[in-house]
Structure 1
Amino acid sequence: MVSLFEHQDSQEFFERAYSLLMAEADRGCVLLGVSMLDEELTTMFKSRLLKDTSKSLKKEIFDGKGAFGTLSAKLDIAYVCQILPEDLVNCMHCLRKLRNNLAHQASPFTIQENSETIFNILNKISSGNLFVGIANMSGELVVQAFLQKIMDTSHPLDEGKKLFESQEEAISYLEQNDELKTTLVEKKIKTMFVIGIACLGALIIFHREKHLSMIENKA
């Protein structure tokens, strides 16, 4: 899981995705997340263009009416050209369909209520137990954020004293508070989706660099 983010671009994508998407409402989180993957695919294909390609030609190719103008087209081309593996392409096609449905849906949307759909989409990545890694990382991040916040909370009746004296005491409080546990589970599900987007972006970057290396070795 950690090795997936070794490349500097992958680290930056993770940090950007996490900070932007966690701040979004659930609908915006999905729409923006898929848009970020779309942009990463565009970057991948642009990296393969000749250096002297004109701006006008780039615009024509990647314009909405061009050959690479849609997310669907980019995914299909990436698969046909054997740049991205089938499981990754299928996963992102499913995210694309979810995004399209959301864009035309006026009814309320929450990631929690659609968690089974999202789990099934992310679980399409077959290599390296990625889904398990995403689940573990999201749980750790949510608990760490909770502990950091609650350990900094001052006692409401005892000035100068913290609300909890130890993390064990804070965890014990969490385990006895069903409402708080429900809130953290909801946050974990959204965090899983966000980390999933970050991992998909990192996979695009991984395959981008792998393919560029193959081309350079053949030159």
Structure 2
Amino acid sequence: MRDEDVNYFSQFLGEFQGETDRGSALVGAALIDERLHRLLESHFIECKESNELIKGSNAPLGSFSTRIKMAYCLDLITELKYKECELIRRIRNEFAHQVHGLTFTDNKVYDLCNNLHANTPDGTRLDGNARQLYINSVILVSLALWYRPEYNKPDRARHREWSYQLSS
């Protein structure tokens, strides 16, 4: 990683890991959402209409859910990353829509977290520690997406000439 990215990510990790359960769920999902936004933005042709599709919560691709689906349908993320992002989104939604008292030990959140594929670096499962599974998953998915926009540059959509088109 570049130095500025290491600094940004280190600061994020410090805040992320120090959050409450609700804060961790919301902040972690926000990071993945932002990474998907950057990835989609880097894939579309450069024009005003592309920005209108992505920017803002009312934009067609302005929600976390639609960004996940679009990135998968454009083959910008693997099926495994798609499923992992969907679980992160569902966990985030549990916290976002519960007014009070939800933690990673809640049965529904706990079960969702135990479906995440985020393992420790040595490959051991963290069964029983739903919060740490969630944190690991967010970290691994965000790192996988970090430079994906740059890697995708050769495949970026671009204007082209079609053999049958309207004349100007």
TM-score (norm 1): 0.57
More helix by share: 1
Measured in 1, the distance between the counterparts of 2:69 and 2:53 equals 19
Q: Which residue of 2 aligns with 1:133?
A: 121
Q: Which residue of 2 aligns with 1:200?
A: 141
For 2:55, the aligned partner's letter is F
Measured in 2, the distance between the counterparts of 1:80 and 1:73 equals 10
Shift of 1:50: 4.8
Shift of 1:102: 1.8
Q: Secondary structure at the residue paired with 1:88?
A: helix
Measured in 2, the distance between the counterparts of 1:189 and 1:94 equals 12
Residue-by-residue CA offset, 1:144-179 (whole Å, 9 max, x unaligned): xxxxxxxxxxxxxxxxxxxxxxxxxxxxxxxxxxxx
In the alignment, which of 37, 42, 46 is matched to residue 42 of structure 1? 37
Structure 1 contact 10–202 (Cα < 8 Å) conserved:
no
Structure 1 contact 17–198 (Cα < 8 Å) conserved:
no
Structure 1 stretches of 4+ with a deviation exceeding 4 A read 213-216
For 2:151, the aligned partner's letter is K
Does residue 209 in structure 1 map to residue 150 in structure 2?
yes
Paired positions, count? 154
Structure 1 contact 13–198 (Cα < 8 Å) conserved:
no
Q: Which runs of 5+ in 2 are unaligned?
A: 158-168
TM-score (norm 2): 0.72
Residue-by-residue CA offset, 1:8-66 (whole Å, 9 max, x unaligned): 37645642331111121111110111011111111222223555x45x96256422222
Higher relative contact order (CA closer than 8 Å, sequence separation 6+):
1
Shift of 1:112: 3.8
Q: Which residue of 2 aligns with 1:79?
A: 72
| Residues 193 and 57 of structure 1: CA distance in aligned 2, closer, same or farther (over 3 Å) | closer
Q: Which residue of 1 aligns with 2:17?
A: 22
- Quick one: percent identity of the two aligned structures? 18
Structure 1 contact 10–201 (Cα < 8 Å) conserved:
no
Does residue 63 in structure 1 map to residue 56 in structure 2?
yes
Structure 2 contact 43–149 (Cα < 8 Å) conserved:
no
Structure 2 contact 36–67 (Cα < 8 Å) conserved:
yes
In the alignment, which of 104, 118, 121 is matched to residue 111 of structure 1? 104
From the CA coordinates, give the structure whose radius of gyration is larger.
1
Structure 1 contact 112–189 (Cα < 8 Å) conserved:
yes
Measured in 2, the distance between the counterparts of 1:191 and 1:13 equals 21
Structure 2 contact 65–86 (Cα < 8 Å) conserved:
yes
Measured in 2, the distance between the counterparts of 1:14 and 1:198 equals 9
Q: Secondary structure at the residue paired with 2:121?
A: helix
Measured in 2, the distance between the counterparts of 1:76 and 1:14 equals 25
Q: Tell which deviates more after alignment, 34-43 or 111-120.
A: 111-120
Measured in 2, the distance between the counterparts of 1:134 and 1:21 equals 22
Q: Which runs of 5+ in 1 are unaligned?
A: 1-6, 124-129, 139-185
CA RMSD of aligned residues (A): 3.3
